[in-house]
A and B are shown apart, each in its own frame.
Chain A
Amino acid sequence: MPAHWTEETALKGRGHRSLGRRWRRVSTRWVIGRGPSRDGTGAVIGRWDPAAAARNPRKVSASCMGRRRRRVDRGAAVGALPEAIAALSRTLPAGPSPEIFRRAKFDRPEAAPALWQLLFRVLSPLSANGASASPAQEAQVRVVKSELHSQGYPRRALAQLPEDGSQGSRELLLALAWLLARGPLLERLLAQTRVRLGDEIPLCECEALARPGPPVPRVEADGPVDIRHLQWLMGKLRFRWRKLITSQQEQCALLGKIHSYTRGCHSDRSLGHLSVAETELLRDAEGGQQLLRRLESENVRLEAALRWRRQELVFWRWMDTVLGTCPPEASQPTFVPWIPERGAGEWELVARELQALREELRGAAEPRRAAWEARVGGWGPEWSAVQRASREAVGLELAALQRAWEQGGAAAQPHGPCRLVKSDAGASEGPGLRAAQVIEVLRSREACLEAVLCQLQRQCRQELARLAGALPGLIWILPPGR
């Protein structure tokens, strides 16, 4: 038996059935690692070329023999990519099989629908959860395109793909890799669909804003409305908030009861009591089974995500080759200006505020500067040193202020959902936030927002007074103050 046959049988475990002329059938296999090359030192990333291998079996066998030590490496390398991709697709919702990925590299049309669906699930998770049936193919395609565009996807070939979702698997593969490379996509997806075992309270409104809920079909008011309609809507809104707050207080009372009644029941000592979900699990065994199943499937996905982390390097090397197989893009797109409808409103508001602020600052600073100059005009040079020190100090303060918003400034504030745990007062050590501290932070934020609202209302009052003052012969009696 030729020496190289032992090599091949070793690789057999990886499904690489290749002996002599049967190498031709292996044309569908793909390999990363050292392939057949003349001097045997080149690392080939790409298809195992059976034709070339068949042509010089002796050469290959020589390289194989010479790399008997590397048998393990190559064996590992051969399987590493499918494993990595399998881990990736298991972590993703609606993840397709590694075979789909492989076909996408060659832009095969049969791989396109699965990838469209995957991207749709990834880019708009809330509609996938909320909707009973996923929307039609065209709708999915449109959502994927617009979402990728808004995130800044650079390649234009995606926009030109047909809406029936029949083509473009390679482009979709590149889009998926782009999303993966830009940020912690998998972790974010897992966190969004996380099984909530505890009673959670979100401390900031990030999630509430990011998940606007299912769109309610509404009848648009086409014609002009009276201002009394607006007043009515405002009143309705006020009433709804009041009702919400009352319901929330009731829920808190119930939660407090449930937590204290199940004291000492949890196996985890740091938690101490059961949450609503866990108590519900005990009450309703069937629902409990469902929860358990969801928990276990989440565990599977988490393990796959950890496996992916260990193995993803291989995937990125492969994606380089996929990018290489793409034809270069045309560099002269057509020009269409885009005015965002909603975004313009936000921009307008901020611009207006900044302009108003600038005017106020100018009104405050200029007279002071004039007064100062008038006073200090004749003062001696010993002032200049003091002045310089003041300038530096103020400069530092303002720089710190600027950093506060440029870096998001979210570090100091509690962020994200928290699991509620009832514990007796006096537990000052141990992990977790204390409600008293959080209440302090929230109160200061409340004071801040109230100040903003008051200031806006004051502005309105001044403006209206100015406008009303133009009409003489009227007495304006303001409502009794708060």
Chain B
Amino acid sequence: MLPADCSRRLVAELRDALDACAERQRQLERSLRVSRRLLRTWEPAETPAPQPTPAPETSGEAPSPESTPSSQDLKELELLTQALEKAVRVRKGISKTGERHKALSLKSGSAATSATTASAPSRPSGQASCRVSETKPPRGIQQTVVPARGLPECRLLSVGDRTRMGRGSRATKPGPGPRDQQIPPSAARQAPEAFTLKEKGILLRLPMAYRKAASRNSRLWAQLSSPQTSDSMDAAATAKTQFLQKMQMTSGGPGSGLSAAAVEAEVGLLRTACLLLRRRMEEVLSADPADCMQEYRCLLTLEGLQAITEQCLHRLQELRAAVVGQQLGPWPVGRRPGASLPCGGGTDPLWSPQLLLYSSTQELQTLEALRLRLAMLDQQIHLEKVLMAELLPLVGTQGPHWLALCRAVHSLLCEGGERFLTVLRDEPAD
């Protein structure tokens, strides 16, 4: 058993690490839920029925000039759909097609051919009768579908229907594919056909209100992030520094002027310093000096590194003294444990995100995997240091079950807890 205070600290550290991991997992689960839902069939019930308020944009080529169908248009649509339904019934009697409600397979212009071949096997019925007319509807659909903008479900279908009105009525008579005929009745009558992102994602368009707000948003962020160089800004900057100085003067003022956050930041910098110094030392030690001059330089570098390390240690002692000796008065003692930022914040923080272009899913997966691995390594290094600090002294003092402790500590510290060594007692042969 480990001593109580040591146990408490170590368990607290490990639990912190577990909590951090759990938090990431929670956020990831949230995103996964949203993404999975988007890739499934979209429930029509989730979209409010006729008129979502953001008006869909209309392209130049759309025959319908207004963006929202008026009540008269809806009436016309209703009449048209009734007429088309009648045509469907008539056609049903003629052809042997089994009317099945299928998922809409509207195709965009670019994907027309591939989609036709894809939809053809998916509709076993009706192929015999409409193979002849197969070539015509795709073209017609090409031209009519592209202007079909706006939200899917009713929005998409109603606008699409209206644009297709002129052609659809003509096209239905001679007998296009049954899918055309299925569209109007299903659109007007019952819940619209299911919408999947895979098949119809290309048709989506963002509402105008959102686009305006988003472009304004990015414009404002760009303005906010741009460096300010006008006179009033300089005057404001000087006024600010003067104000800060006055504040410092009028108060009693802590002598060293160091705040806890500044101390923490400096300690973080010194940690980075240690890392860089050690890396340079290893480079020097592993290099093979070819001639005298290089040997001399190696020697000088090592001595220089030693001097810098002394400086860093000295600075660390100063920080410690400043923290301990700081006059605090009635300040509350407990502090929120903040983490020191390894990046240092950057000199010029970008307030809005920049773009990161990736070309394939594999690339994205590699990127994310690397990122997580870095976070995991960071955590592992931190835990390693903490465990070293706590457990090695325990191994140094021999107590009961020392062997078992030694073995466990070895596995934790040297193998990351994954492998164990074996200890054999070297018994004399007699």
Contact = CB atoms under 8 A, between A and B. Distances in A.
A131 interface: no
Given A154-B251, A206-B341, A258-B197, A464 B368 contact: no
Interface stretch (A59-67, A112-120, A225-233): A225-233
B259 A151 contact: yes
A243 B389 contact: no
B7 A365 contact: no
Interface in B378-429: 378, 380-381, 383-386, 388-389, 392, 395-396, 403, 405-406, 408-426
Contacts of B278: 357, 455
B250 A326 contact: yes
Interface in B24-58: 24-25, 28-29, 31-32, 34-39, 42, 46-48, 52-54
Given A221-B8, A302-B224, A159 B331 contact: yes
Interface stretch (A32-40, A96-104, A335-343): A335-343
A442 B302 contact: no
Contact of A369 (B28, B299, B411): B299
B189 interface: no
Contacts of B7: 221, 223-225
Nearest to A479: B419
Contacts of A329: 250-252
A180 B244 CA distance: 10
B366 interface: yes
A interface SS class: helix
A152 B259 contact: yes
A14 interface: no
Contact of B151 (A200, A282, A286, A436): A282
A387 B297 CA distance: 9
Interface string B210-226: 11011111001101110
A315 B360 CA distance: 51
Contacts of B100: none
B66 interface: no
Interface string A298-319: 1100110110011011001101
A424 B368 CA distance: 19
Contacts, number: 641
Most buried by A among B261, B339, B375: B339
B285 interface: yes
A1 interface: no
Contacts of B298: 368
B244 A278 contact: no
Contacts of A385: none
Given A339-B324, A357-B309, A467-B396, A152 B262 contact: yes
Nearest to A330: B252
Interface stretch (A22-30, A41-49, A71-79, A259-267): A259-267
A354 B274 contact: yes
Interface in B344-376: 344-347, 349-361, 363-376
Given A197-B214, A197-B217, A476-B422, 15 more contacts: A224-B7, A225-B1, A254-B32, A261-B197, A263-B202, A268-B215, A302-B221, A313-B239, A316-B236, A338-B326, A338-B328, A342-B335, A355-B313, A435-B358, A467-B406
